[in-house]
Amino acid sequence: MELVPSVLFLVLKGVSTALFRRLVLRRKTVASWSIPLECAVAVTRLMVDSEVSEEDVKAYREGSQARDHLVRKRERVTALKDGLTDAPAFPGCAVIPAMIEHIKAEWYVPKSCESSFAAVDSSEKDRTVVINMHGGAFVMGTLNMFRTHTSRMAVTLGMSVIGFEYRLMPKHRFGNILDDAMTMFTHLRDILGYKPSKIVLAGDSAGGHLALSLALHLRQQGFEGPGAVVVLSPWVDPGSYSEDVNSTTGFKEFGHIDIMGKGTQMLQLGSLAFSTDDSYRSLLLPDIVQQARYLPPCLVQVGGCEVFLPAISEFVRLVNNGNTVTGAEKVRFEVFKDQIHGFQMMGDLTPATQQALDSAASFLRDVNL
């Protein structure tokens, strides 16, 4: 398999670079980081950088035959990478495969929820359920890739969580992606009988953007929205990444540290999922900010040294400072010092992973979910 040598090379290169910096040069990227975390970040930076090339972005922009070739390439790479490993579930969590129309999904059911989940087809649910939307810049992401994180979330929250594989760029646009998220919500509401007020929308990175967009879309369509939204390092402003990513404030400040610091091509390709007149291309647009002030309780977490920190901070500031709907903060904002983009997926490499998920559980208890 041609992919295996390239992956092994990136792992060896990342680990050796990090170890040389720490053990020979006696330098730390971030003072509080352990050696294993620094190695993991170095490897992930290289993986992200290799995911999409400048030629891929150019091919998509050219359209037609070049784009069709890119679609086939991305599908092949995704299948190969997904087949390299079979990610385990977090201890204490059952994994139940599901198909929701055309969408591949998995339920993550902690032991504390097994009895209520067993009745899912015969009674309305009084317990809270979470729809989790994976990250990956709308370009990558599978159930296998996020299984350990999503099942850990389920165990920590003490709630059943359903994850799903939405359609991806470059074959599909954001409208298709949002339709898939809407399908998941309506299935839980109309087929499985969950009350909207008991459904939590969650997501990381691009999935965080999708969770927020779905909550906004439900309101725009006149439907009852979710009970809460929990987003981890959400990509709130993808429209600004279509051209010179390195010119953004976040990349100037944290591009040399964060795992996304070398992911400029992947972000550029993902940003092309949006047409220029798509209001969801940026959640910082005035109309979107105004609508966001009517959202249900929302938790936003971000790493203190990630490239999306400035944009996420601005989103929270705009929503909270102009909130005249309730007279209170609509968004609870948590910045985790020294943490990178998507640190909640780093497992036991950093204690901030569990701290962040524990905080999410506390937030949902505070809003009576």
Interval 101-115 mean pLDDT: 91
Determine which of 124-128, 149-153, 224-228 has the lowest per-residue pLDDT on average: 124-128
Instruction: Output the pLDDT for position 323.
Output: 60
Interval 364-368 mean pLDDT: 95
Which DSSP letter does residue 194 get? B
In this prediction, residue 366 has a pLDDT band, given cuts at 50, 70 and 90, of very high
Side-by-side strand order, sheet with 129-133:
93-100, 103-110, 160-164, 129-133, 199-204, 228-232, 298-303, 331-336
Q: Encoding tokens for residue 265?
A: 């091509």
Instruction: Output the pLDDT for position 121.
Output: 47
∠ CA 96-85-262, rounded to 5°: 110
Instruction: Output the pLDDT for position 122.
Output: 45
Which one-letter amino acid corresponds to residue 77?
V
Instruction: Output the pLDDT for position 200.
Output: 98
Interval 128-135 mean pLDDT: 97
Rounded distance, CA 82 to CA 269, Å? 20
Helix, strand, coil in percent for the chain, rounding step 5: 55, 15, 35
> Under a CB-based contact definition with an 8 Å cutoff, are residues 71 and 165 in contact?
no
The domain limits of the chain are 1-51, 93-366
Instruction: Output the pLDDT for position 130.
Output: 98
Rounded distance, CA 201 to CA 193, Å? 16
Q: Angle 64-82/3-19 helices, nearest 10 degrees?
A: 70
pLDDT, tens only, 237-259: 998 887 777 777 889 999 999 99
Rounded distance, CA 333 to CA 171, Å? 34
| Nearest residue to 112 (alpha-carbon basis) of 161, 148, 146, 147 | 161
Q: Encoding tokens for residue 316?
A: 């929270």
In this prediction, residue 4 has a pLDDT band, given cuts at 50, 70 and 90, of low
| Nearest residue to 266 (alpha-carbon basis) of 177, 206, 178, 312 | 206
**Taking the model in full, what pTM does it have?**
0.94
Q: Encoding tokens for residue 240?
A: 């600004």
53 catalytic per annotation: no
Say which of 160, 205, 233, 271 is annotated catalytic.
205
Residue with tokens 């990250």: 135
Rounded distance, CA 115 to CA 340, Å? 37
Q: What percent of the chain has pLDDT over 70?
A: 93
Alpha-carbon distance values, 93 to 220, 301, 336, 345 (Å)? 35, 24, 26, 17
Rounded distance, CA 290 to CA 330, Å? 12
In this prediction, residue 276 has a pLDDT band, given cuts at 50, 70 and 90, of confident
In this prediction, residue 1 has a pLDDT band, given cuts at 50, 70 and 90, of very low
pLDDT, tens only, 5-21: 688 899 999 999 999 99
CATH T-level topology, domain 93-366: Rossmann fold (3.40.50)
> Under a CB-based contact definition with an 8 Å cutoff, are residues 136 and 206 in contact?
yes
- Is residue 345 pLDDT above 90, yes or no? yes
Rounded distance, CA 228 to CA 222, Å? 17
Q: How far apart are the first and last CA of the chain?
A: 46
Alpha-carbon distance values, 242 to 106, 175, 207, 281 (Å)? 32, 17, 18, 10
